[in-house]
Amino acid sequence: MGMFDTIIFDQPIPCPRCGAAIGSDQTKAFERTLEEYRIGDCIAHAEEIRIVGDDLYCHACHTYTTRYYLAVYRGILVGIELEREAAEAQLRSFNFEKLLLWYHDLYQQRERARGQTHRAEMFMHNVCQWFEGGYDKMAPEDRRRLLFIWSRDILEESDTPLAALHGFQARRQAEAQASNNADDPMNLW
């Protein structure tokens, strides 16, 4: 099958043959990085303005059912349409202010990802220092006060580097879940 990207539809598209709801589709029209894309995501280079046609596959009846069209404006996926004319109309009437807002959101996502990457790299560095430097064998009062300030609790709870990595992953998953729950408008608590 090879590499592909997945397009997630805002609204499922009903299969014209069996009626099953199709919530996503795989495409080889872009970078083929196994990423998932939704409307508003950067899917191509900023100079690209184009319409991409692709065949929709139904996993329920195991057939390609119909063609759909992706409208890409300045590298951003701005629409998913079943008719090429509708995709063309989207590109002709696209609101530039909306594009700027999407770029702003994408920039914030990029900064969060950079921060998470930096945090993970620093933690891995701390794990190496902690276990290679013998801090795991020292009495708590003998450990330097400011060293490992951001990850000391995980490191002190861990007997091995692998346990420390598992602890770090568990904390990140809990933080992500808490963040998702806080963003959920149905979650009032």
pLDDT 10s digit of each residue in the chain, 189 long? 578 999 999 999 999 899 999 999 999 988 888 899 999 888 888 788 899 999 999 999 998 988 999 999 988 899 999 999 999 998 898 888 888 888 888 888 889 889 998 999 999 999 998 899 888 888 877 777 667 888 888 998 999 999 999 999 999 898 888 877 765 544 444
pTM score above 0.75: no
Distance CA 15, CA 86 (A): 19
Task: From 94, 128, 145, give the residue that closes a domain.
Answer: 94
| Count of domains forming the chain | 2
The answer to whether residue 132 is domain-embedded is: yes
Residues 168 and 115 in one domain: yes
Residues 31 and 79 in one domain: yes
Residues 132 and 109 in one domain: yes
| Burial of 188 (C-beta count, 10 Å sphere; 0-12/13-18/19+) | exposed
Distance CA 189, CA 179 (A): 12
Residues 35 and 23 in one domain: yes
Residues 124 and 170 in one domain: yes
The answer to whether residue 24 is domain-embedded is: yes
The answer to whether residue 137 is domain-embedded is: yes
**Could you give the 3-state DSSP secondary structure of residue 123?**
helix
The answer to whether residue 54 is domain-embedded is: yes
- Domain of residue 44, residue span: 5-94
Residues 82 and 41 in one domain: yes
Residues 81 and 123 in one domain: no
Residues 79 and 123 in one domain: no
